[in-house]
């Protein structure tokens, strides 16, 4: 136990106040939801400011607030820069968002696109990949809640994990995507102000010179630009970030929800605004050695440094910032994954003639089910956050080329798209276990590209875009 | 005579088996473990008998202190940023010292890292080309 650790009672009070505030707001925002479009896609008319804020806040997650410091602590300068390159996912999704809205004006999910573009085999591979990724991300967010509370307070890991899950499930359940987007707006303001303040205190209290001197003596590889594992990690993270965004229904559902002409501008702006944030959050991890801190788990380094700098009041502050970041991602993921399961599994496969009201009820049940499943897996605490997230990199990076070619290359067929996703995922997982988590995404993406290219060169078919319109 | 020899052989056999079985246990008790790392990162798990010490020192090949961290009850350590070399992990408390392990760091080859980086850069450039090249040859959607 350290001198900045919050007492259990203080931590519980913050949790309750924070949780009740989000839940009441979710209920208030969702009270006028009448149709599935209102609930799942916020009426398909979200404006530029809210659209930009929700895209940015959703992308500021446990990854940014906990994993960016972890990767900086492990890979130094390359870790920090490499992590910020995940912004490329948002930036490059901007032209796709416009295209998606144009091609599928009444679409609901990323699964809709894959099914109609490539057929059933590719759709099945895509759904499995999407669900593995969504569960991995949800579990990492639940774990992050537990780690956050256990590193800053006397409360245990399971309490923290349960709290974040219960709060997010309830307000997503009550408010739907409208509540998710509105809370994201407030959360993004809290997060940005918070991380900038912490970085400023870090520079002020510790200083660049002390940090540099300490790193040079104690952790020299963190300043080494020829650090091999970190060099491997750089483009791996680029493709991991791109894969996450290009395939995930979190981003597709927003592309459908944003008003026409808003998607492209808002994704581009959100990406550019997000770019410096991992550098700011990652930077504070470099001060760990100067503060004589060595975290028991690498993913706890960010909150530990921040709390050591700011003391007990700071621990409360960090708690609110990181909890906002976690909540802003978890609610989005719960909403988007429940849409994917409702539309792609329940409506397409299980109950094709279900009425919109019945689908709305199913959607809510799925949110609760996802919350429970996440709790069960996160309770096992199988890996560090960084390792868990990059495990999903093997899955998502395999979808990049099938999605890009699905939109821009009419010759790729469903069989090769499915083969590219399956083979890419398997190769990425082999790389993950044989070499390390920092090569999974890049290997997966490379093999997927190779198979797509073979498919395009051998293809005799030519897909016509108008057939995608529903 | 034969029975004596058999008795002796039997005893020697038991002694040898006993030594063989107990040897790893003795080694494990006396020799601190040797860890390996390809990225300069190592997680050191907490053990209850570390409680009596107040500092963890990472000693480099010359025996000088590379880094030091406080001992916090119930918490292990993650050390990172170490260059190639052999490091000794040592707990200390005033006049008391205990070596809890040796860490051998040998980073991946720079050649394989740069190859992977180059492959990533090429693939990224091709992705940009695919996303942003105008396609006058493709049919336009209506």
Tens of pLDDT, residue by residue over A368-414, are: 999 999 999 888 877 776 677 778 899 999 999 999 999 989 999 99
Q: Which of A95, A294, A468 sits opposite B131 (nearest CB)?
A: A95
* Cα B30 off chain centre by: 19
Tell whether B14 and B79 lie within a shared domain: no
Q: Is residue B19 part of a domain?
A: yes
Is residue A135 classed as helix, strand or coil in its secondary structure?
helix
Interchain contact, B81 vs A1, CB within 8 Å: no
d(C-alpha A6, C-alpha A307), whole Å: 10
**Which residues in B7-27 are b (16+ Cβ under 10 Å) and which e?**
eeeeeeeeeeeeeeeeeeeee
Q: Are residues B67 and B9 in the same domain?
A: no
Given a cut of 90, is residue B129 above it in pLDDT?
Answer: yes
Q: Is B115 inside a domain boundary?
A: no
| B47 and B79 share one domain | yes
Structure tokens at A334: 């719960």
Within 8 A of A448 by CB-CB distance, chain B residues are none
- Comparing CB atoms, the residue among B80, B130, B139 nearest residue A74 is B80
B14, part of any domain:
yes
Distance from CA of B32 to the nearest CA of A (A): 20
CB A423 within 8 A of CB A448: yes
Contact with chain B for residue A464, Cβ under 8 A: yes
* Cβ neighbours of residue A111 closer than 8 Å, sequence gap 6 or more: A123, A126, A127, A130, A249, A340, A343, A344, A348
A385–chain B Cβ distance below 8 A for any pair: no
Interface test with A, best of B58, B71, B78 (most A CBs within 10 A): B78
Interchain contact B136–A (C-beta under 8 A)? no
Q: B50 and B14 in one domain?
A: no
> Same structural domain for residues B46 and B95?
yes
Residue B142 in this model has a pLDDT that exceeds 70: no
pLDDT at position B22: 45
Residues B27 and B72 in one domain: no
Q: Looking at residue A113, what DSSP letter applies?
A: H
Closest by CA position to B102, among listed B121, B82, B122: B82
pLDDT reported for residue B141: 45
pLDDT, tens digit, 9 for 90 and up, residues B34-61:
999 999 999 999 999 898 999 999 999 9
Under a CB-based contact definition with an 8 Å cutoff, are residues A277 and A195 in contact?
A: yes
Verify that B85 and B39 share a domain, yes or no: yes
B84-123 residues touching A, CB cutoff 8 A: 107-110, 112-114, 116-117, 119-121, 123
What is the number of domains present in chain B?
2
Q: A296 vs B142: CB contact, 8 Å cut-off?
A: no
| Pair (B15, B56) in one structural domain | no
In the 8-state DSSP scheme, what is residue A7?
A: P
Q: Are A319 and A14 in contact (CB under 8 A)?
A: yes
Could B117 and A234 be called an inter-chain contact, meaning their C-beta atoms sit closer than 8 Å? yes
Query: Does residue B125 lie within any of the structural domains?
Result: no
pLDDT tens, N- to C-terminus, chain A (470 residues): 455 567 788 888 888 887 888 788 777 776 766 666 665 566 666 777 778 877 887 787 766 777 889 999 999 999 999 999 989 999 999 988 888 888 887 777 888 899 989 999 999 999 999 998 888 888 888 888 887 777 777 788 888 888 888 888 887 777 677 777 777 777 778 778 888 888 888 899 899 999 999 999 999 999 999 999 999 889 999 999 999 999 988 888 888 888 777 888 889 999 998 899 899 889 999 999 898 888 888 878 888 888 888 877 777 777 777 777 777 777 778 888 888 888 888 888 888 888 888 888 888 899 899 999 999 988 887 777 667 777 889 999 999 999 999 998 999 999 999 999 999 999 999 999 988 888 899 999 999 999 999 999 998 888 876 654 44
**Residues A76 and A222 sit within 8 Å (Cβ to Cβ):** yes
Dig out the tokens for B50 from the structure.
């570390």
pLDDT for A4 equals 56
Tell me the chain A residues in contact with residue B113 when contact means C-beta distances shorter than 8 Å: 228-229, 231-232
Contacts of B79 in chain A (CB under 8 A): 294
Q: Select from A271, A401, A273, A321 the least CA-distant residue to A148.
A: A321
Tell me, what's the pLDDT at A415?
95
What residue in B sits closest to A226 (Cα-Cα)?
B110
Task: Tell me if B124 and A238 make a contact (CB, 8 A cut-off).
Answer: yes
What residues of B are in contact with residue A383 (Cβ under 8 Å)? Answer: none
Partner A, chain B 2-31, Cβ-Cβ below 8 Å: none
Residue B135 counted as domain residue = no
User: What distance in Å separates residue B41's CA from the closest CA in chain A?
Assistant: 6
A242–B127: do the CB atoms touch at under 8 Å?
yes
CB A173 within 8 A of CB A360: no
Domain that holds residue B72: 32-108
Instruction: Identify whether B90 is part of a domain.
Output: yes
Domains assigned to chain A: 8-376 (1.20.1730.10)
On chain B, the residues whose CB falls within 8 A of the CB of A239 are 120, 123-124
CA distance B88 to chain A (A): 14
A53: left (phi over 0), alpha (psi -120 to 50) or beta: alpha
Mean pLDDT over each residue of chain B, to the nearest integer:
80
Which residue intervals of chain B are DSSP H helices? 2-30, 110-132
A468 to chain B: closest CA residue: B141
User: Is B47 among the domain residues?
Assistant: yes
Residues B12 and B75 in one domain: no
- At residue B15, the pLDDT reads 47
Instruction: Name every chain B residue with its beta carbon within 8 A of the beta carbon of A113.
Output: none
Asked if A85 is an interface residue toward chain B (Cβ–Cβ < 8 A), one would say: no
Whole-angstrom Cα distance, residue A176 to residue A178? 5
Contact B78 A239 (CB under 8 A): no
More confident of the two residues B13 and A384: A384
Give B61 to chain A, closest Cα distance, Å. Answer: 14
Question: What's this model's pTM, rounded to 2 decimal places?
Answer: 0.79
Q: Please report which confidence band the pLDDT of residue B95 belongs to, taking 50, 70 and 90 as the band edges.
A: confident
- Cβ atoms of A350 and A365 closer than 8 Å: no
Of A238, A242, A465, the CB nearest to B139: A465
Task: Please indicate, yes or no, whether residues B38 and B80 belong to a single structural domain of this protein.
Answer: yes
Find chain B residues with C-beta within 8 A of A449's C-beta: 123, 126
- Tell the burial category of B128 from Cβ atoms under 10 Å away from its Cβ (0-12, 13-18, 19+): exposed
Same domain, B41 and B9: no
Q: Looking at the complex, does the CB of residue A231 fall below 8 Å from at least one CB of chain B?
A: yes
For A33, A68, A308, B63, B135, the CA distances from A284, given in Å and listed in that order, are 42, 10, 11, 30, 45
Q: Which residue has the higher pLDDT, B142 or B59?
A: B59
Helix ranges restricted to H, A248-355? 249-257, 262-274, 277-283, 301-340
Query: Is B130's CB within 8 Å of A409's CB?
Result: yes
pLDDT number for residue A465: 65
How close B92 gets to chain A, by Cα (Å)? 15
Quick check: B38 contacting A, CB < 8 Å? yes
Residues B81, A222: C-beta atoms closer than 8 Å? yes
Question: What's residue A246's pLDDT?
Answer: 94
Judged by CB atoms closer than 8 Å, whether chains meet at B40 and A227 is answered as: yes
Band (B3; pLDDT cuts 50, 70, 90):
very low
Residue of A nearest to B44 (CA): A296
Question: With contact defined as beta carbons under 8 Å apart, do A88 and A271 qualify?
Answer: yes
Q: Same structural domain for residues B38 and B98?
A: yes
Residue B129 lies in a domain: no
**Gyration radius of chain B over CA positions:** 28
Residue B132 CB: number of other CB atoms within 10 A?
10
Please give the pLDDT value at position B108.
Answer: 92
User: What pLDDT sits at residue A45?
Assistant: 66
Residue B68 bridge partners (DSSP): B57
């Amino acid at each position: 136990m350290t001198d900045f650790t919050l007492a259990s009672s203080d931590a519980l009070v913050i949790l309750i106040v924070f949780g009740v505030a989000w839940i009441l707001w979710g209920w208030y925002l969702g009270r006028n939801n009448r149709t599935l479009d209102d609930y799942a896609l916020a009426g398909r008319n979200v404006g530029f400011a809210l659209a930009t804020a929700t895209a940015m806040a959703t992308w500021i997650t446990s990854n940014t607030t906990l994993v960016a410091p972890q990767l900086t602590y492990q890979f130094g300068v390359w870790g920090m820069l490499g992590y910020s390159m995940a912004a490329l996912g948002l930036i490059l999704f901007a032209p796709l968002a416009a295209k998606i809205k144009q091609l599928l004006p009444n679409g609901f999910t990323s699964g809709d696109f894959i099914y109609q573009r490539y057929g059933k085999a590719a759709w099945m591979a895509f759904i499995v990949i999407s669900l593995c990724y969504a569960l991995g991300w949800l579990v990492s967010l639940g774990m992050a809640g537990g780690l956050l509370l256990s590193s800053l307070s006397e409360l245990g890991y399971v309490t923290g994990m349960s709290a974040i899950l219960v709060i997010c499930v309830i307000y997503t359940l009550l408010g739907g995507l409208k509540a998710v987007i509105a809370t994201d707006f407030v959360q993004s303001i809290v997060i940005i102000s918070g991380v900038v303040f912490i970085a400023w205190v870090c520079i002020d209290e510790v200083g660049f010179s002390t940090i540099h001197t300490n790193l040079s003596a104690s952790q020299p590889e963190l300043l080494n630009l020829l650090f091999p594992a970190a060099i491997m990690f750089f483009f791996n993270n680029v493709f991991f970030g791109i894969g996450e965004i290009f395939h995930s229904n979190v981003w597709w559902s927003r592309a459908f929800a944003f008003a026409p002409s808003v998607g492209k501008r808002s994704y581009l702006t959100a990406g550019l605004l997000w770019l410096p944030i991992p550098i700011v959050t990652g930077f504070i991890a470099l001060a760990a050695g100067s503060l004589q801190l060595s975290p028991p788990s690498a993913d706890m380094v960010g909150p530990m440094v921040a709390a050591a700098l700011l003391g007990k009041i700071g621990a409360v502050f960090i708690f609110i910032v990181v909890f906002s970041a976690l909540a802003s991602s978890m609610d989005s993921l719960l909403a988007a994954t429940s849409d994917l399961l409702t539309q792609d599994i329940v409506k397409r496969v299980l109950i094709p003639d279900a009425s919109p009201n019945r689908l709305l009820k199913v959607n809510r049940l799925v949110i609760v089910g996802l919350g429970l499943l996440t709790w069960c897996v996160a309770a096992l605490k199988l890996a560090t956050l960084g390792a868990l997230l990059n495990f999903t990199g093997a899955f998502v990076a395999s979808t990049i080329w099938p999605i890009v070619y699905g939109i821009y290359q009419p010759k790729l067929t469903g069989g090769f798209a499915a083969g590219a996703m399956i083979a890419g995922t398997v190769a990425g997982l082999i790389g993950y276990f044989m070499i390390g988590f920092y090569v999974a995404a890049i290997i997966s993406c490379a093999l997927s590209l190779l198979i797509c290219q073979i498919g395009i060169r051998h293809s005799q078919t030519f897909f016509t875009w108008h057939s995608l319109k529903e | 005579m034969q029975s004596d020899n058999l008795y002796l052989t039997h005893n020697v056999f038991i002694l040898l088996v006993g030594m063989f079985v107990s040897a790893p246990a003795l080694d494990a008790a006396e020799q601190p473990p040797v860890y390996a790392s390809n990225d300069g990162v190592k997680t050191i798990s907490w053990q209850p008998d570390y409680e009596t010490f107040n500092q963890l020192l990472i000693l480099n090949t010359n025996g000088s202190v590379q880094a030091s961290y406080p001992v916090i009850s119930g918490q292990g350590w993650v050390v990172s940023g170490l260059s190639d070399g052999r490091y000794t992990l040592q707990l200390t408390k005033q006049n008391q010292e205990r070596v809890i392990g040796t860490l051998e760091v040998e980073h991946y080859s720079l050649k394989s890292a740069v190859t992977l980086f180059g492959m990533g850069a090429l693939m990224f450039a091709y992705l940009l080309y695919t996303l942003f090249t105008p396609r006058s040859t493709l049919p336009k959607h209506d």
